[in-house]
Amino acid sequence: MPRGTLGTWQYNYIMKNRDYKNFSKDSFFHVYNRGNNRENIFHNEQDYKAFLYRLGLGLGFDQKELLAHPLTSIGNSRVRITDSRKNQFKLHAFCLMNNHFHFLIEQCSDTPISKLLLKICTSYAMYSNRKYGRVGHIFQDQFKAVLIDSDSQLMWTSAYIHMNPVKDFLVKHPNEYNWSSYNDYVNNRNLPITNTEFLLTAFADRKNLETQTLAVELSRGTLDTL
C-alpha cells in the first residue's frame, strides 16, 4: 500500500468521487450507508446487537462464538446467513450510529464486499420491519465505498470511524461508546468480529493508535457526504 499524507479536504473529495463497483481481492474499503430518509436504523441496544450478530455471521463466525460475547448475544436465534465462510473478509474497524454505519473492511477473496453487505442489510431490514411493523427499505439507496490506497488514508479512516460518536456529541471520548471497534483496540474487549492485528501493526502499537485517533482532524463536511 503506497504511503502518503491525507488531509480532511482530500478525503472529502475522495468520498464525493467514490466508485463502489470495483471490488477486488486484497483491497481495503471504507464502506458506509445510512437509513432511508436519514431515519434511524438502530433504536435500542437490541437493534445494535442484532446487526452485529448478522455481521458476524456474514463474516463466517460461528453462532456459538457470537452468542458468547455480550455485544453479539441475542439469545436463541434462528437467523441464517448462508454461504458465509471465515477469511473471505476481515473487518478492521466499525462504528454503528443511530442512522448510519461505517466499516473499514478488507476483501480477502474473490467474493465481493457487495455480496456481504447485501446479505447483512437484507437480513437486518427483515428483522427491523418485523419488530417495528413497517414495510419498505431501511437503508438509503446502495451502500457507498471508498477504496483505501495509502497507509495514511487507512490510518485516517480508522481514526475517523472511531471518532464518529465524539463528532456527533454522543460521548466525550471514543472509549465511552459501545457500538464501535475502538474498545477492541484500547481496552481488550475482544469482540470476535474485529480483526485488530493489522491496524495495530500499521500504527506501530496500541498507544500510537489511541494518540492518533484522538488527534484526528475531523470536519462536518466528511459526515455530510453520507
CATH number at residue 60: 3.30.70.1290
* Domain of 172, in residue numbers: 8-224
Q: Show the DSSP H helices in 107-205 as ranges.
A: 113-132, 151-167, 182-186, 197-202
Distance CA 26, CA 226 (A): 25
Reply yes or no on whether the pLDDT at 203 is more than 70. yes
62 belongs to a structural domain: yes
Per-residue pLDDT tens over the stretch 116-138: 999 999 999 999 999 999 888 89
What cell was used for 149?
490506497
175 belongs to a structural domain: yes
Task: Please answer whether residues 87 and 109 qualify as being in contact, where contact means their C-beta atoms are separated by less than 8 angstroms.
Answer: yes
Q: Who contacts 60 (Cβ-Cβ below 8 Å, separation ≥6)? A: 84, 85, 86, 87, 88
Question: What integer pLDDT is reported at residue 217 of this predicted model?
Answer: 66
1 belongs to a structural domain: no
Q: Show the DSSP H helices in the chain as ranges.
A: 8-16, 45-58, 63-67, 113-132, 151-167, 182-186, 197-202, 206-214, 220-224
Q: What angle do the packed helices 113-132 and 45-58 form, to 10 degrees? A: 150
Query: Averaged over 83-98, what is the pLDDT?
Result: 93
Work out the number of other CB atoms within 10 angstroms of the CB of residue 169.
Answer: 7
Per-residue pLDDT tens over the stretch 39-87: 999 999 999 999 999 999 999 999 999 999 999 999 767 788 877 888 8
25 belongs to a structural domain: yes
Q: Who contacts 170 (Cβ-Cβ below 8 Å, separation ≥6)? A: 97, 177
How many structural domains does the chain have?
A: 1
35 belongs to a structural domain: yes
Enumerate the β-bridge partners of residue 89. 107
Taking phi over 0 as left and psi of -120 to 50 as alpha, with beta for the rest, 74 belongs to: alpha
